[in-house]
Structure 1
Amino acid sequence: MGVDDIVNKGKQLFEQNRDKIEDALKSEKAEEVSDRILDGAADAIKKVVPEGQRAKVDQVRENVDKHVGNQ
């Protein structure tokens, strides 16, 4: 089985389970996990970027958060 076969199988599985995947991404658990990951990533990034860029990091974090979970 080659890489193309694996990719095609993944696409098939995604299409067959699209509704379940979308429901999982909109779940409360996904919201909790994504918030923890996004908070940690934003905090780490803010430690290394100039102070003037920290507000932009928060904006990006909020934008990403809108697309995962249920809030």
Structure 2
Amino acid sequence: MGLMDNLKAKLAPAKGKVSDFAQRHEDKVAQGLDKAAKVVDERTKGKYSDKIQTGTGKAKGAVDRLAHKGDGTASGSGTPPPDAPPPTT
């Protein structure tokens, strides 16, 4: 068993707890991310605004994927997004 396999095995129980937390508090996490982004942007005097916004968006996407894991609404769940073109056969 390799190092990554060991890590995955040890972190598996925590993954479920994090997903449950993300489902219950998704809006609060998003608000916290926005607040943190605003503080960092102010402290850096706007120098890294674009990078801060990109990072915040990616973090919100990750929270969304965690919160909706297993309910079929997250991207990567096998269902295409509503605006996707129909599959060709």
Q: Would you call these one fold, judging by a TM-score over 0.5? A: yes
- Aligned pair count? 57
The answer to whether residue 20 in structure 2 is matched with residue 24 in structure 1 is: yes
Higher RCO by CA contacts (8 Å cutoff, separation 6 or greater):
1
Q: Which has the higher helix share?
A: 1
- Check whether the contact 1:25–1:68 (CA below 8 A) recurs between aligned residues: no
Q: Which runs of 5+ in 2 are unaligned?
A: 1-9, 68-73, 75-89
**Rounded Cα–Cα distance in structure 2 between residues aligned with 1:51 and 1:18:** 35
Q: TM-score, normalised by structure 2?
A: 0.49
Q: TM-score, normalised by structure 1?
A: 0.58
Q: SS where residue 25 of structure 2 aligns? A: helix
Q: Which runs of 5+ in 1 are unaligned?
A: 1-10
Percent identical: 14
